[in-house]
Structure 1
């Protein structure tokens, strides 16, 4: 099965665009069905990661406040950043160049990856900028319309576990928002009439 949507999640030592990346998790998925495909899970040696970014003291304090399982996962890496990013670059193109990357925040995961590909590999990110998607936007749009009750499987703040969870709830919201409320023959006028009426107030 060919996938174009790719959910990503990072573990970092900062929140700015130049944050050192210490783990990358990603999973291909189809938001129309919720099906998931290949996964990527790699941890970077923390010391090597620091060479390519700027650490945030507040992020270090945040990590120290997390559970043992999450802290151990974030420092488990032994691979150099260049090797992990080269592998991830290829993974992103596994189903072609029309990949649609998702991140949980318009200025976090994808922005950090854009910076890191240039800084570490001296090459652009393997996606077109107009294909970038944001989890938080679709979640806000779906509030009051669709409910997601799924539980995270695995360890919170672990890149691949978070990416899998995000793919699950994005698929639920996607399907709810794209339900057959309007058909292909609905006119703009009829859609406006319905969306301005009280029946959409929930």
Structure 2
């Protein structure tokens, strides 16, 4: 089966676009059915990761406060960043050039990856910018319409486990929202701007 949607989750040592990436987890999925496909799971040697980004003190403190399992996952990497990003670039091209990458936040995972592809590989990200999708937006849209009660399977703050979990709840929200009856307005009905909008 050809998948065009790919859920991506990163473990990083910061929150800015230049944050060092220490792990990448991803899973292809079909939001229309919830079916999941091939996965990507790779950890980068922390020392090598730091060559390509800037550590955030607050993020480092946050990691120190996590459980042993999550911390061990973060420091497990033995591979150089260049190798991992090359393999991930290939993974993102697996089903063609029309991938729809999802990240949990409009300016976190995807923005960090786009910076890192250029910095580490001197390559463009393997997707079209207009295909980028955001988990938090669909979650807010689904609030009060459809709920998700599934539990995370695996270890929280582990890239692949988080990616699979996010693919699960995005699929539930996607299907629930697409079953809604569209709101119809009469043809020719004028729309007016709110009185408190600035005239700019």
TM-score normalised by length of structure 2: 0.92
- Tell me what 1:24 maps to: 24
Instruction: Write the distance in 2 (CA, Å) between the matches of 1:108 and 1:180.
Output: 29
- Tell me what 1:53 maps to: 53
- Tell me what 2:198 maps to: none
Task: Summarize deviations over 1:65-101 as a string: whole Å, max 9, x none.
Answer: 0000000000000000000000000000000000000
- Tell me what 2:192 maps to: none
- Tell me what 1:119 maps to: 119
- The SS at the match of 1:77 is coil
Unaligned runs of 5+ in 2: 190-200
State the shift of 1:189 in Å: 2.7
State the shift of 1:181 in Å: 2.0
Instruction: Write the distance in 2 (CA, Å) between the matches of 1:68 and 1:144.
Output: 36
- The SS at the match of 1:22 is strand
Unaligned runs of 5+ in 1: 193-202
Task: Summarize deviations over 1:115-153 as a string: whole Å, max 9, x none.
Answer: 000000000000000000000000000000000000000
Instruction: Write the distance in 2 (CA, Å) between the matches of 1:11 and 1:150.
Output: 22
- Report how many residues are paired: 188
- Tell me what 2:74 maps to: 74
From 183, 186, 191, the equivalent of 1:189 is 186
Map 1:103-182; keep pairs closer than 5 Å: 103-182=103-182
Instruction: Write the distance in 2 (CA, Å) between the matches of 1:144 and 1:180.
Output: 13
Instruction: Write the distance in 2 (CA, Å) between the matches of 1:32 and 1:189.
Output: 30
Instruction: Write the distance in 1 (CA, Å) between the matches of 2:159 and 2:12.
Output: 10
More helix by proportion, 1 or 2?
Answer: 1
State the shift of 1:180 in Å: 4.8
Instruction: Write the distance in 2 (CA, Å) between the matches of 1:83 and 1:137.
Output: 32
Task: Summarize deviations over 1:153-176 as a string: whole Å, max 9, x none.
Answer: 000000000000000000000000
- Tell me what 1:83 maps to: 83
Off by >6 Å, runs of 4+ in structure 1: none
TM-score normalised by length of structure 1: 0.91
